[in-house]
Structure 1
C-alpha cells in the first residue's frame, strides 16, 4: 500500500509503500531463498541467476534482524514462496543489488550481484552488510531519498536535502559522508532516518533492549544508529584513544574520532550515561539526568536539564552550564560540588566551571555557599569561596576591614580579594551587599529599580555630588525597608542642600532646565522639556520629575562608570 505524505521530510523522502494497510501496524512476513530463477522474473532478474550461498544466507538473516530490532516486523524463514524471495544474478557493473518495493500481496524479489565481490564479504563495516540492509529496506517499503537509481530510473520526491542525503542518515542513500571519508566504515544498522521511517510504517519495537545496556565503542567503530527501548543505558567510549564527541541527545551524532559522526541515537531513545575516552572528550548530556564519567584526557562536559552526576578524571575537566552564574546555586567544595539550576547536578573531580558570564577554577575553591529563596546573611571564611545568593536581598559578611580588600567587577560577578592573602578571593554572584567588620559595605544592586543604585543616582541628581557614605547608607536602608522612591526624592527636594544647589522659588521651566544641567550636563532637548513641563502643568509632582530624570537611561549610562565595581556606603544601624 502507498501512503500519503506526513509533512515530515525525513520520513516522506524514504517511505514509498508498505505491507501494512495503515501506518504503525505490525506485520508478519515470510522470506525464502530461491533455488531457481523466478518464473515471472524479468530478463534482468533471471540473467546469470544463482542461489545464495550458506554464508550469504546467514548475512541476510543478520540484516533482517537489524530491521526487526527497530520496527514491529516479524520475519519467518520458509523453504519457498516467501513474501520476500532472495537470490543472486549477474548485474554486470551496474549495481551491487536491487529489490522490488511491496505491491499488494505479491512477493517481492531481492537480488544481489553475483559478479560483485562485495557481496561475499560481510565483515561489519564493509560494504556487504550495508547492501543487504539497503535492499531489504526496499522490500519493506523504503525508496531512495534522492533522485537517482542504479539503472538510471527515478522515483518521485520528496527527497532529502543534500546535507542529509548520505549514509550517515540513511542506508537508502547512494551518497557517502564526510565521516566515511575519514573512517571508511559502512553502516551495520538502519540509520537515523531509516528507523524513523520504518517505525512510521510498522510501529516501534518496544521490546528490543529494554534492560540496562552498555554500548561499547572503539576508534574505528562502524557507522551505526542505536535503537534502545528502555532500561538504563551507557555509551562507553573508553576504548577510544583519540579525541571523541559524545552526544546523548536523541537524533544526534557522536564520533569515536574527530569528524567521524559514526554513532547516532534514534529518535525517542534515552541514553542515561557516558564514559569518556582517553584522548579528551566533548560530552553533551540530555535532559534525563545523566551519569557522566570523564577519561584520562581533558574533557569538556555540557550539562543537561536533568539531575546529572559528573565524575571528572581529576585532571583538567570542564563542565559547561547554559546560563550565567547568577542562575545557579552552588554548595560544597571543589572536590564535591552540588549545582542547582538546570536540575540538581553533583560534580566531583572537575577543575573548571564555565558559565555564560564567567568561569571558576573549582579546584582552587575551598567552599561554595548558596543562599535560599529569601533574604540571606552568609558569612565568609578563610580561603577562596564562591557565594551565590539566589532570590531576595542577600548579604555576605567579611571578617576584615574594607581597606584590606580590593572589590572589583568581573563580568556580571564581583571579586572580593583580601590584599593580605589570608582571606583569599571570594566570588559573589546574585549577592547584593558585601559587609565588612568596621561597618563599611559595598552594594552591588546598582541597576534599574535597585535600592542602592536608585539612592546613589538620586544623590547625584539632587545634590550634583557623590553621596556621603553615611547618608547613602541611611537611604539605602529606607528603600530596602519599603520607603517609596519618589518619597525619598521629595525629602531631597525639601532639603536645605537642594535649595542651596538649585535655588528657591524656581519656576517649572527653571526647575526642569536646572535638572537637565545638573543631572545630564546638557541643555534640555525641546521634546523632553515640553514633556516634563506639560506633566507639571497637569499636576505631576516635582519629586516625580526629579526621580524620572534621575532614573532615565541617559543618566544611568552616565553614572554607571562610577559604580561598576559597586557602591561604597556605611551600614545604617539606627
Structure 2
C-alpha cells in the first residue's frame, strides 16, 4: 500500500554518495504490483508531454541502441522494461526535440498523479498513484552526437544520464544534499557534469549503482530490497570504509576495498559480488572476516550480520556461534559442515535463542529444544568419547572447554547435578560453556579468553569448508581427533590472526585424506572415536545421531 508520506518524503540512506543522487521522483516503486514492469515507447503519435511540441521520433539506429540501454538498466536495477508502440499506454516516452538552451544536450522530465486522500496525515493511503517520464535528446545543436547512440560515444552517455533522471536520480550538485566538490565527476557518477578524463562511459559509475541499489534493490519494483521492500540496500564505495546500518533490516555491500561493516540492530545481510568459492571466511575477536581471493572485494570485517549473500548462494550466520559452542563444549571439536547446517535449521525452526546464555536458560522450558540438545549425549560419538562415570565425563568436558582438570568444587557440583537428575549431560556442557563466559574472576577471565579463542578457531574451521572434497574430508574418527587436537593447542594468549594458517593447514591435510590420529586429549578418553554426527540428516528431524 502506498501512503502519502511514501510519495512526498524522500527516504534517505544516511550515506552522502547515495543521498546526493536521490531526487523526489518519479517513485516507480509505488505504482503497485499489478504490473511488475515499466513500459517505454518511441511513438510520438500519442502520449506526449503536455505543453511540449516539436517532437521527432528516434531513428531506427537510435531505437536499437536505446533498447540496449534499457536492457543494461534492467540488469543494474532488476526493473523489467517492455516496449510498446502505443504511446498512451507507456510510462516512459523517448523522443528528439530542439532543447531550448543551446548548451543542453539531453533533458528528462516527469510527472506524478494521484488523488489526494481525505486525510493529510503521512499514513493516509493513496490508491491511484500514476507516473510518466519523458526523455529527450537534442536534435539541433547536438544533432551529430545524439544521432549516434552506440556505447562508447557521447550520445550513449547522455542517454544513460537522462535515463538516470528518469529512474529517480538527480545531479549531485543540486538540492539539499550535494557531493563534495572533489567527488563530483563522471567517474563517480554519470549524473555529474564534470569530466576528469576524456572517456565517454558506457556503464553507470559506482555512486549511480549505489543509488539504484538503494531505490530498487537490484530486484526490481517492490522486491525484497530497496524502497518499498523489506530490507534497505546500502552500498559502499570502491575505497576502504566503514559501513554502519541502523535498527532497520538492511543489506550492506562493501564493494571493493577493505571494509568494516556493522549491521547494528535488525536482521542484516552482507553482500558480495563473487561466488562463494572465491572467498575465505573466518572469525576473529567475535567478528566474521571475509576475504576475496579472486576479485577486488578486499577484506571485510563483519559485525552484527546475520547472513552472507554471494552471487551463487547465501549463507546464514544465525545460530552459527551457539552451534559451535555446543560442538566445542561437548565434543571438543568444530562442527562438521552438515551438522552445522542441520542444527542451524532446526534451532531456527524451534525459534530458539541465538545466544549461548539464552539457549541454556531455554533448555528446561522448551521440550523440542531439550530433545535437540540432548541428541548430543545420545549420539554414538558421545558413547565412544565418554564411556566412564559422571566424574570422568565432567573431567573430559573441562578438558574440552578449558584445557585443564576441574577444581574439586566444580567437579562435585556438576557431578551431583547430573547424578541427581537435575541436569542432563548435554545441558551440563551448555551450562559450563555459558558460565565460563560470564565468570569475572581471574581464572574465569583466562578461561573465557581461551573459550572465545576455541570458538573463533572452530568457526573459522567450519566456515572454511566450502568444497565437496573438504566436506568429505572432515568425516570419521581420525578427522575428528585431528580437529580436537588443533583446538587443544590454543591458549588464552594465542594470536588468532596468525592461527588462521594452522586452521587452513589442518583442513588441507584432512581434505587430502592424509590426516593422522592425534594424541589423546585426556587419559579418560577412548582411543577410537565414532563417526561425526549430523551427516546426511535433513531439516526438521527431532534429533541428529
Normalising by the residue count of structure 1, what TM-score does the alignment of the two structures yield? 0.37
Higher RCO structure (Cα 8 Å, ≥6 apart) = 2
Higher fraction of helix: 2
Rg larger for: 1
| Higher strand proportion (structure 1 or 2) | 1
